[in-house]
Structure 1
Amino acid sequence: MAPKTRTNPADRLDDDDYPAYTMGRAAEMIGATPAFLRSLDDARLVTPLRSEGGHRRYSRYQLRLASRARELVDQGTPIEAACRIIVLEDQLEEALRLNEELRQSAADARAPGERQS
């Protein structure tokens, strides 16, 4: 029987979705308070994973969303509206990415020399 391969958590630090940051470190990184991060959790914009001890852990992707929320709130946008804006921006970015992939697939599928109409 082959030995189990353990993955080193440090190997996942480049993963945007890996929950590498504690609440205190996350708040410090985006220039916010832990209470602000909790409010984003309450608003369901950022739902951090929990450690075995129940502590919140944030990924880089979540920190980008939290940073954008902080930017909007600092400009006077209510937190609920800021969260909705960010969700819509994220959805638009994903739709544009998928659209570009579909365009590329269609272009790749065309025979060489075939004209686009």
Structure 2
Amino acid sequence: MALDRLDDPDHPVYSMGQAAELLGVTPAFLRSLDASGLLSPGRSGGGHRRYSRHQLDRVAELRELTEHGHTLTSAAEILDLRADLDGERARHAATTEERDRAVQERDTARDERDTARRERDTARRERDDARGGA
């Protein structure tokens, strides 16, 4: 359904004026991000820039970093590195979960093997006792 896109943080719905107003930046700042390749907004049918919520978040982070003395290029690199780090942390967490499940499955299999061996040994003793007592 078309309304589902409203919940999509990557769907470009904000005009440049709306984005600038929400972020407290000038349209010229947004244009400069586009021109430098640091942000690639979507385009409307008429060619007007449209920004997604994720892009608005990125602009806010870029602005914050530039206010702390970083150039736009270094601010973008910092954000890219943070995103890479977040991705690696997520992959590490997934790998750790997978390893933990494998260890648990291994331990369960060992417990089942040990139980089967005990049952087998008990059955052998009972069989041997029955043979010896006859």
- TM-score, length-normalised on structure 2? 0.72
Give the match for residue 81 of structure 2: 88
Uncovered stretches (5+) of structure 1, i.e. residues with no partner: 1-6
Give structure 1 regions of 4+ aligned residues with deviation exceeding 6 angstroms: none
Shift of 1:112: 4.6
Q: Does 1:21 align with 2:21?
A: no
Aligned-residue offset at 1:51? 0.9
Shift of 1:113: 7.3
Task: Please report how far the alpha carbon of residue 48 of structure 1 lies from its aligned counterpart in structure 2 after TM superposition.
Answer: 0.7
The amino acid of 1:89's aligned partner reads: R
Aligned residues: 108
* Matched-pair contact (CA < 8 Å) for 1:43–1:83: no
More helix by share: 2
- The CA distance in 2 between the partners of 1:30 and 1:109, in whole Å, is 47
Work out which structure has the larger RCO, using CA pairs closer than 8 Å and 6 or more positions apart in sequence.
Answer: 1
Kindly provide the CA deviation profile for residues 35-94 of structure 1, in whole angstroms up to 9, marking residues without a partner as x: 111222223221111111101111111111110000011122111111111111111111
Higher Cα radius of gyration? 2
Q: Distance in 2 between matches of 1:28 and 1:45?
A: 20
After TM superposition, list the pairs within 5 Å mapping 1:19-58 onto structure 2: 19-58=12-51
Q: Mark the runs of 5 or more structure 2 residues left unpaired by the alignment.
A: 108-134
- The TM-score normalised by the length of structure 1 is 0.81
